[in-house]
Chains A and B, each alone.
Chain A
Amino acid sequence: MNIETKNIIKTYNEKTVLNLNGDYRDLFFESGKIHGIIGPNGSGKTTLMKIMAGLILPTGGDVLYSGQPLDQDIRSKMTYSNHTPTLFSRSVYENIAYPLKIRKGEQAEIHQTVTQLLDEFEIDEIKNQSARHLSGGESQKTALARALSFSPKILFLDEPTANIDPKSIQIIETALKKRNREQGLTIIIITHNLSQAFRICNHLTFLDQGSCLFSDTPEKIMASTHPTIDEFISFNRF
């Protein structure tokens, strides 16, 4: 499912936090790709992602999903997870099973899917532990396993690997690339880690102060001469 944003504007209390105009008035997120959204703090990345995920309404402009406006059917095919995921006060296993249970899945099928995810994210040992007592890495892996359990078509991730250990980052990146490659999952990820963006993304969008300065392949961003982008890359050199 492609996502197109058309001249998105978002204001909070008369302060404009996002205003996509100029060359990047309209943005296109191609289906089956991994899209990175990068930029300094306060540049409007999370706002843009929440608008695309249907969590907040834009003040102006439209978001289209393969040419269609957001409806319940489209909403049921996408999910969102951020760097401080809200896990429910039940076991890790029950958290991952939740999206399948509300979709009335077969018990045996649910068990098989959850077991597979617990194994893939290496959280099998903590499956009976309360999800309210997990480390940062365990929380992220549980949240991501839960998000992937119902095989969504679009996955929105807001800094999913912020402040977690390298092993967990590797597990998460491997799982994302596998889903993208094998199931054609469209992933839109916000990251401050430029090396991660280059490792996993097919397409990058750079935001600064609510405007978009760049939206193209990772290779092309390196050739950009825009001073803000150049400065951002210099600070994040790897």
Chain B
Amino acid sequence: MAGRVVLIEDEANIAEAIRFLLSREGWTVDVHADGSDALAVIEAAAPDLVILDLMLPGKSGMEIIREIREIEAMAHLPVLMLTARGQLKDREMAERAGVTRFMTKPFSNAEVLTAVRDLNAQALQSASARGSG
């Protein structure tokens, strides 16, 4: 059961590839390239999933995830972070900041799809758990 994805990615070709894959899975994909107004775009779209690049013009993905988690409505929003900087400290920092899943470029299409499906399933489970609780 697919929903809406907001993809914040400044590399147009990568954004196109992800958009292609997820739309074939049935997702609605909103692509945005700039970091500075990313939060407003996400809030406005109220997506089921956010895919966030780490290095963005305007504002870094690390700052954006912190801002997302500060907003109560999006405290449990699944966020998949992508980065071309494959350093361990980036992953640790990102997880502390509240990223749900972390992926290093380059990745295979299968990896992206699996990650998105997993995140979606988890989100549904926890939402139903919160709903019943």
Say whether A and B bind each other.
no
Q: What residues of chain A have their CB less than 8 Å away from a CB belonging to chain B?
A: none
Q: What residues of chain B have their CB less than 8 Å away from a CB belonging to chain A?
A: none
